[in-house]
Amino acid sequence: MHAPCVAFLSLLAAIPALAYDTAFAFAANATIETRSIDEIYQAALAEGGLVTLWHGGDESNQQDSLKTAFEAKFPGMTLNVTVDLSKYHDQRIDEQLATNSLYVDSAILQTVHDYPRWKQEGALLNYQPAGFEQIHPAFKDIDAAYYGMFIIAWSNTWNTDKLNVSSISSYADFLRPEFKDKLVLTYPNDDDAVLFQFNTIMQTLGKGWFEALLQQNPRWVRGTGTPATLVGTANNSYVATFTSSIGLVPSLPMKIDHSTDAFFTSWPQTGAIFRDAPHPEGAKLLHNFLMSVEHQNATGTFSSRIDVASAGGYPGIFDMNNTNPTAFGEWMGDRAQVERFRFWIEDKIGSAQGLSPLIDDL
């Protein structure tokens, strides 16, 4: 039985996510991968050639490129990838674990606070893929139960066909008259990373900034992919967002900037293989592929590996100004704090409306 008692869960919930390794370090024996990628590939084929991945996101096709790249690299392998909001994936995984009916091999999710809990429940495989030593220490569990697969960072994003400016370098810029009725933003009360973004901005710019933003009449949507999709679509009036990530080298007419007047949100999107994964060799092949230098160079964003340069000539995430990639994980560990701010926001803008992922009028 993986689920711990309620009292123990309550204790864990009170401890910030990045403090788990100190508080509960087991020094578990992790399997260190010494095989070549081809040897893992052959083992995965012999196992059945299948791997099931649940990936956080909000548009069902967001990981189609990963499926295509993985299956092209490893003929005969099938990657079944399901994209949904991480907060829905995790509770479904909990149900599978509680009923001994696990059919997911690997999960890569935004809900970083889930991984220390799953580790303590004994649900995760202690496994070091090739290159594990190159993952930044702040992004990996000491027993290799979970680790950051890549970095997500919100950016100020706009469509130059709709708004001919060279830079949007502050959150205060979004209060300018030209953004009235033309911003599209993710409901903060529907996505913890966006909620953290608003919390961080208001700590610096104050609640007055938020009140002025509401006067801009932004369109609120579900999902963080949706704002960028709407901004990038020609047949609407939405020109900009700051609750999406489109990588560091977007294609024109899309352009990005990072704010200088308050911190922007960045974090390691974290992944793990489940101890009782039905296809452990397939999952190991997938994780070795995802953490390879080849794939990390192809992501178009910041890498969680210290030996892989960021895309577009950007510095490493720890060398970027106005962001702290470990702060989100620490904040997520204090669920009472998260929920208090969520309901403060919800009282101001209402509950999240619409389907998720949003599929109409994109």
Asked if pLDDT for residue 69 goes beyond 80, the answer is yes
Q: What is the pLDDT of residues 98-145, one digit of tens each?
A: 999 999 999 999 999 999 999 999 999 999 999 999 999 999 999 999
Asked if pLDDT for residue 342 goes beyond 50, the answer is yes
Confidence band for 25, pLDDT divided at 50, 70 and 90: very low
- Position 61 scores a pLDDT of 86
Distance CA 2, CA 100 (A): 8
Distance CA 283, CA 73 (A): 15
Q: Which amino acid is at 356?
A: S
Give which of 240, 239, 180 is closest to 212, Cα–Cα.
Answer: 180
State the average pLDDT over residues 33-56: 98
Pairing of strands 50-56, 106-109: parallel
Asked if pLDDT for residue 23 goes beyond 80, the answer is no
Q: Which amino acid is at 9?
A: L
Query: In the structure encoding, which two tokens stand for residue 164, read together?
Result: 């001919």
Give the DSSP H or E segment for 21: helix 20-23
Distance CA 209, CA 201 (A): 8
Confidence band for 260, pLDDT divided at 50, 70 and 90: very high
Asked if pLDDT for residue 12 goes beyond 60, the answer is no
- Position 28 scores a pLDDT of 55
Q: What is the pTM of this model?
A: 0.89
Asked if pLDDT for residue 9 goes beyond 60, the answer is no
- Position 160 scores a pLDDT of 97
Least confident of 22-31, 83-92, 98-107, 244-253: 22-31
Q: Give the angle subtended at the CA of 234 by the CAs of 265 and 221, to the nearest 5°.
A: 40
The DSSP symbol for 221 reads E
Q: Is the dihedral of CA 5, 9, 11, 12 positive or negative?
A: positive
Asked if pLDDT for residue 354 goes beyond 90, the answer is no
In whole angstroms, how far apart are CA 190 and each of 4, 92, 125, 229?
A: 27, 18, 30, 18
Average pLDDT, the chain: 91
Sorted by where each starts, the structural domains of the chain and their CATH numbers stand as 6-152+267-314 (3.40.190.10), 155-264+335-349 (3.40.190)
Confidence band for 356, pLDDT divided at 50, 70 and 90: low
In whole angstroms, how far apart are CA 312 and each of 64, 130, 299, 300?
A: 23, 25, 11, 8
Q: What is the pLDDT of residues 175-232, one digit of tens each?
A: 999 999 999 999 999 999 999 999 999 999 999 999 999 999 999 999 999 999 999 9
Query: In the structure encoding, which two tokens stand for residue 304, read together?
Result: 């969680």
Residue 346 burial (CB count, 10 A): 15
CA 93 to chain CA centroid, Å, is: 17
- Position 14 scores a pLDDT of 37
What is the DSSP secondary-structure string of 40-62?
HHHHHHHHTSEEEEEEE-SSTTT
Percent of the chain with pLDDT over 90: 88
Could you check whether the bond before residue 357 is cis, i.e. omega within 30 degrees of 0? yes
Give which of 40, 68, 23 is closest to 127, Cα–Cα.
Answer: 40
